[in-house]
């Protein structure tokens, strides 16, 4: 028995930090300097699974992790959804995406600003067995960005039952309550609890 050494198919350092904190018994490294495939799936799960399979094609015989996540705004019919990271364009910054979201919701009443974070985690074992975890975090979009922790839409996302944005609540709060934390718990349940070599 030992730590699971896994390859994470991502370029997102923020997601890597969160996964390492959520899976302290795992040794998680980013995939090497290869061109990531285009995200062409129609769901978060399809994109996450494709990333995990791609990582295993590059690093055969390894544990691999694919993750796809994003924000769904009710008033926008679930947008930006799977295009959350590219909402304002292919090379948009977090600030660009947040600005576009706030523009799209300009003038919306508080009751119409409902939204949720969604995370899909897919792990492939060295023999190709697939494990999956899904997590959501319900909330609403604030009128303006607040807070300095987190990334993505965290400065404008206020979780249900809270008065502050995720970026104000901070990383410790995220480790316990985020959509990615919920997806990780679901994944570990599928593994039977703490990770072990199999």
> What is the residue-wise DSSP string for the chain?
--PEEEEE----HHHHHHHHHH-TTEEEEE--S-PPPP---SSHHHHHHHHHHHHHHHSTTSEEEEEEEEEEEGGGTT-BGGGGGGTT-TT--HHHHHHHHHHHTTT--GGG-EEEEEEEEEEE-TT--EEEEEEEEEEEE-SS---SSS-TTGGGEEETT-SS-HHHH-HHHHHHHSHHHHHHHHHHHHHTSS----
Whether 68 sits among the annotated catalytic residues: the reply is: yes
Cα–Cα distance measured from residue 17 to residue 159, given in angstroms and rounded to the nearest whole number: 21
Annotated catalytic residue, options 25, 27, 68, 154: 68
Active-site positions read: 68
């Amino acid at each position: 028995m030992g730590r699971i050494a896994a390859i994470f198919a991502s370029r997102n350092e923020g997601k890597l930090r969160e996964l390492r904190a959520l899976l302290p018994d795992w040794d998680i490294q980013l995939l090497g300097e290869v061109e990531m495939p285009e995200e062409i799936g129609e769901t978060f799960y399809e994109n996450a699974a494709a990333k995990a399979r791609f990582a295993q094609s590059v690093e055969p015989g390894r544990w691999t992790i694919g993750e796809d996540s994003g924000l769904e705004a009710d008033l926008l019919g679930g947008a930006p959804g799977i295009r959350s990271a590219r909402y304002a364009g292919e090379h948009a910054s977090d600030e660009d995406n947040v600005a576009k979201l706030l523009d799209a919701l300009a003038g919306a009443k508080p009751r119409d600003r409902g939204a949720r974070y969604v995370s899909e985690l897919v792990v492939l074992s060295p023999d190709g067995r697939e494990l999956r975890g899904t997590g959501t975090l319900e909330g609403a979009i604030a009128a303006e960005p607040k807070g300095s922790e987190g990334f993505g839409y965290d400065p404008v996302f206020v979780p249900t039952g809270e008065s502050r944005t995720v970026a104000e609540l901070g990383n410790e709060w995220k480790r316990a309550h985020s959509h990615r934390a919920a997806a990780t718990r679901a994944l570990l349940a599928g593994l039977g609890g703490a990770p072990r070599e199999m």
